[in-house]
Structure 1
Amino acid sequence: MLTEAPRPSPYVSEVRRDAPDPGLGYWRRLVPLLALLACVTRVPSFVGPLWNPDEGYLAVQARMLAHGGTLYESVVDRKPPLVPWLYEAAFAVFGSGSLTPLRLCAVAAQLATALLLASVARRRWGATAGRTTGVLYLLISVGLNPQDAQAATFEVFMLPWTAAALWCADRRRWGWCGAAVAGAFLTKQTGGAVLVPVAWMLWRCGPSRRGVLRCAAGAALPVLLAALATDPAGFLFWTVTGSAAYASFAGSELHVLARGLTNAAILGVACAGLLPPLTRALRTLRTGCAELWIWLASSAGAVLLGFHFFGHYYLQLTPPLALLGAAALHVLPRGRRGTALLTSACCCAIFLTWGMLAPRPDLAHTQRVADAVRAHSAPREPVLVWGIHPETYWLADREPASRFLTAGLLTNYSGGRDGPQVGEKYAVRGAWAAFRGEFAARAPRLVVDDSRGAPYGPQRVRSLRRMLAPYEVAGTVDGAVLYVRRP
């Protein structure tokens, strides 16, 4: 797929281009380089059992699916199915005790993204631009808090699909382009934002009815098949219509805004080698790279969607930034390229050091709670952890007593939201009825209140207080309260 010799793209004006290398020789040299760089930049991801609650959520989901659970029925989340299925497949082959196979999959995903971007850049601006793009992408891909950049979660596996969509659109392969858009959406909903630059490119090349139909069919068919493979109504609810309260700016506005600005600043540091040349070449690039600017703008809109501004959302900006940075360096004097790459490499080294040495207080807390759960429950005994750390179930090797793996689905608490929109009435529609039914049918012997003063604690959730009436306190661990059912 990547051996096609460079030729002018139909979407950019003709610019100075390097003499192209022979196709196979070019990739034989570039692929090992990028593979090595992808491995180096992902080294911190292999430190420790997991990085964030999203990894824990996926690990617990995968175990539930392996034991007969059904996605969007007895196993629920607000995300599409591809990454839970990937975790389930990895656990089926390698066992569920370690996330190392998923970390290797994340390395492969980053490498695939870098190669696709390099192919796009090489076709447009020549061999040197292709190499520059691939290297720049991998250097800036770790430029966030390690908990966001190093985790093997949705955004990392979404990026190859978005790059593939642009790669196919650049070559007018509209059916495959639509399939790549569907793959991005089925990995994470905001991945569908790549449809905006794809639509622009389709319009720019003189849209034919055949091209539009191929793109539409390629995008619709995988989504339809995924819905049929799960539960169509549940798929629609959990991935599209059931998150209205979650996607709201109300509650902790200053906290959320500060998080957004902080994560933007962190990514800005990672892109310190790109932003100066990109600013200098801005006028030149406006006409030649319109679809890349549109891709960046639509990705920024995807980051804003939901008003939570978590750091891992910003990973969606890195592919268009790498392409635009390479385009800027291509029209600037050659000396700028070395400066940009050196600056980016130094920034990358800082983030890798951060990832290797940063303390992990949340993980330490969760491990202590998991140890207590193992001590107070039998191996096949379901337990309930009332909190926002679903990885406790995975670390303790215990079965969840409910399909709702976090208190967020039952109270709308997420990411520090502590304003007026936290409570039972802001839960996912129908969640409390299902939760009470699960509790009545199979009440867990052990309940762990891991709220630690957060606004979703039992003192502020009346239904939970009633459900805890038959329980007595068995102890506390690092602020978490353990309740054991009375004989």
Structure 2
Amino acid sequence: MPSAPKTTSAATAALPAPSEPAGGGARSRRNRRLRAPDRYWVRLTAALAVLAALVRVPSFLRPVWNPDEGYLAVQARMLAHGGVLYDTVVDRKPPLLPWLYEGLFAVFGDDSLWPPRAAAVVAQLATALLLASVARRRWGGRAGAAAGAGYLLLSIGLAPEDTQAASFGVFMLPWTALAFWAADRRRWGPAGLAVAGAALTKQTGGAVLLPVLWMLWSARRAPEPPGRAAALRLLAGCVLPVAAVAILTGPSRFVFWTVTGSGSYASASGAWGVALGRGLGNAGILAAAGAAFIVPAVLAAARGGGAGRLTADLWVWLGASALGVVFGFQFYGHYFLQLIPPLVLIGVGALRGLPRWWPAAIAWTVLASAAFAVWGLTAPRTELDHADAVAAAVRARTGPGETVLVWGMHPEQYWLSGRAPASRYLTAGFLTNFSGGRGGARVGERYAVPGAWRTFGEEAALRPADLIVDDSRGAPYAPALTPTLRRMLDTGYRPVDTVGGAVLYARLPAPR
């Protein structure tokens, strides 16, 4: 007969614990302090920290990865020298990352981007640990470790300029993972704060509000359903930080630069082919890198959620992230980073029902990550070499106190040259609506940010640039296609040098 289940009587429970051997008290106390769950997290955190550093080694091997890093570096310098965000320092992005760059530069100096890149390693580690916590709570310790490691390996599964840069997408992800983690534990106030943090890092980060709302709505069927107070805590967490930042930066300016002033930029009118081609290309790259998660996820969806292992909140998170990718119809590779956290969780949950797939899934993910790391180590430096050459020419023809206008889409030239911008508009895109995501569609002065040319003229009249660099190199925003800039060059400047297709114009002496 089967043995009876073990029970603990009240008398047995009241018995004192066995006495400890001499000298064992301290060891026992240490063991109690470091319980099994603690040991799990200590070991996992250490392992994931090493992995996070390894996959981001390429990040530290070149001065700038993409124009977003260059833009943030120049913004931070301008803010440190008295610039005002959304006034004399402008961008279409929320303020948290420019402020982070400014703070890191203040502490560590602004001659290198290693501080924000080190912060990016921490951000990726935080995201991995939050995903591991969600997976462990739902499916156990092995799933938690797989989710954390799987996320870090897949986090570089796009072109290196999209994954290795310390840019908006990377710093948005810890906030989105924290929002989901908090909602999963019914901590609605912190979930709202995390949603606000995501949106204040990058607008599309606010899409994580959808799965959070879904989880709040689904919790009404719980034994202790959340009441109106929970919804109010979530709402306050979302709204109050955004309102505080808006008041700090100026409500009208904040709304204009982060929401209403980007209508033309967010449109793919006239360039649907370019946008869709880029979107399909980047989706294909991520699909190849994440096949070990995507294939089980597809099978789980076909089977109706993986026999209960996958709940609807994960699918809602993935769908909301897809909306974030689509928003703006630009489809740059770093937009797809938003898909990775929910995709990894869904894939790990689905693999729970496919035990024989684990070795193949691990092998594929490790090999794919290694391939992308090699790509990062060997990626061409063509644009970086051009920016370095232009920056060297700018330094040679200007002094430290002189200002420069770079007419192009590579603001890192300001940072590399160590010269201050002559305008708050750090790329020609603000004045012509040019974007690589659309090619040459809807480009010209009439598509500029509203009021930009008037402000640009005022800046030029107050303090004209000592040197103008025409780095258009045949792009549809070239001076020949931009009459206002052409007149400025014709009447006040003369060409003095050419570097890799970029033309440098020196200011003419003022008439006597």
- TM-score, normalised by the number of residues in structure 2: 0.90
Matched-pair contact (CA < 8 Å) for 1:251–1:418: no
Pick one of 350, 366, 378 that aligns with 1:328.
350
Aligned counterparts of 1:437 and 1:253: Cα–Cα separation in 2: 36
Residue 114 (str. 1) matches residue 128 (str. 2): yes
Out of 165-174 and 286-295, give the one that drifted further.
286-295
Matched-pair contact (CA < 8 Å) for 2:274–2:439: no
Pick one of 305, 313, 317 that aligns with 1:285.
305
Q: Determine the structure 2 residue equivalent to 1:248.
A: 267
Amino acid at match of 1:240: V
Cα deviation, residue 418, structure 1: 3.8
Residue 84 (str. 1) matches residue 98 (str. 2): yes
Q: Determine the structure 1 residue equivalent to 2:78.
A: 64
Matched-pair contact (CA < 8 Å) for 1:383–1:400: yes
Amino acid at match of 2:253: G
Q: Determine the structure 2 residue equivalent to 1:466.
A: 487
Amino acid at match of 2:136: R
Amino acid at match of 1:234: R
Q: Determine the structure 1 residue equivalent to 2:18.
A: none
CA deviation vs aligned residue, 1:101-124 (integer Å, no higher than 9, x gap): 111100000000000000001111
Q: More relative contact order in 1 or in 2 (CA 8 Å, sep 6+)?
A: 1
Pick one of 412, 416, 425 that aligns with 1:404.
425
Cα deviation, residue 230, structure 1: 1.3
Aligned counterparts of 1:407 and 1:150: Cα–Cα separation in 2: 25
Identity percentage of aligned residues: 60
CA deviation vs aligned residue, 1:434-479 (integer Å, no higher than 9, x gap): 0000001000111000000100011011111111121111121100
Aligned counterparts of 1:346 and 1:45: Cα–Cα separation in 2: 19
Amino acid at match of 2:228: R
Aligned counterparts of 1:447 and 1:251: Cα–Cα separation in 2: 31
CA deviation vs aligned residue, 1:7-52 (integer Å, no higher than 9, x gap): xxxxxxxxxxxxxx93101101111111111011100101110100
Aligned counterparts of 1:420 and 1:96: Cα–Cα separation in 2: 36
Count of matched residue positions in the alignment of Structure 1 and Structure 2:
466
Aligned counterparts of 2:437 and 2:360: Cα–Cα separation in 1: 39
Residue 223 (str. 1) matches residue 242 (str. 2): yes
Q: Determine the structure 1 residue equivalent to 2:231.
A: 212
Q: Determine the structure 1 residue equivalent to 2:10.
A: none
Out of 143-152 and 419-428, give the one that drifted further.
419-428
Pick one of 404, 408, 426 that aligns with 2:447.
426
Q: Residue 249 of structure 1 aligns to a residue in which SS?
A: coil
Cα deviation, residue 338, structure 1: 2.2
Cα deviation, residue 416, structure 1: 5.2
CA deviation vs aligned residue, 1:196-219 (integer Å, no higher than 9, x gap): 000000000015211110000001
Structure 2 alignment gaps of length 5 or more: 1-34, 221-225
Residue 199 (str. 1) matches residue 213 (str. 2): yes
Q: Determine the structure 1 residue equivalent to 2:281.
A: 262
Aligned counterparts of 2:506 and 2:271: Cα–Cα separation in 1: 34
Q: Determine the structure 2 residue equivalent to 1:235.
A: 254
Matched-pair contact (CA < 8 Å) for 2:266–2:329: yes
Pick one of 329, 337, 351 that aligns with 1:315.
337
- TM-score, normalised by the number of residues in structure 1: 0.94
Q: Determine the structure 1 residue equivalent to 2:462.
A: 441
Cα deviation, residue 155, structure 1: 0.5
Aligned counterparts of 1:159 and 1:53: Cα–Cα separation in 2: 20
Matched-pair contact (CA < 8 Å) for 1:83–1:157: yes
Aligned counterparts of 1:298 and 1:410: Cα–Cα separation in 2: 32
State how 1:294-373 maps to structure 2 within 5 Å: 294-333=316-355, 335-373=356-394
Cα deviation, residue 420, structure 1: 4.2
Cα deviation, residue 252, structure 1: 2.9
Matched-pair contact (CA < 8 Å) for 1:162–1:191: yes
Q: Determine the structure 2 residue equivalent to 1:484.
A: 506
Cα deviation, residue 251, structure 1: 3.1
Q: Determine the structure 1 residue equivalent to 2:7.
A: none
Pair member with larger Rg: 2
Q: Residue 103 of structure 1 aligns to a residue in which SS?
A: helix
Q: Residue 87 of structure 2 aligns to a residue in which SS?
A: coil
Residue 189 (str. 1) matches residue 203 (str. 2): yes
Cα deviation, residue 150, structure 1: 0.4
CA deviation vs aligned residue, 1:161-208 (integer Å, no higher than 9, x gap): 000000000010000000000000000000000000000000000152
Out of 27-36 and 244-253, give the one that drifted further.
244-253
Q: Determine the structure 2 residue equivalent to 1:456.
A: 477
Out of 279-288 and 21-30, give the one that drifted further.
279-288
Out of 418-427 and 464-473, give the one that drifted further.
418-427
Q: Residue 472 of structure 2 aligns to a residue in which SS?
A: coil
CA RMSD of aligned residues (A): 1.1
Matched-pair contact (CA < 8 Å) for 1:71–1:231: no
Aligned counterparts of 2:387 and 2:275: Cα–Cα separation in 1: 24
CA deviation vs aligned residue, 1:75-96 (integer Å, no higher than 9, x gap): 0000000000000000000110
Aligned counterparts of 1:298 and 1:275: Cα–Cα separation in 2: 17
Aligned counterparts of 2:218 and 2:283: Cα–Cα separation in 1: 31
Cα deviation, residue 280, structure 1: 2.5
Q: Residue 92 of structure 2 aligns to a residue in which SS?
A: coil
Amino acid at match of 1:121: A
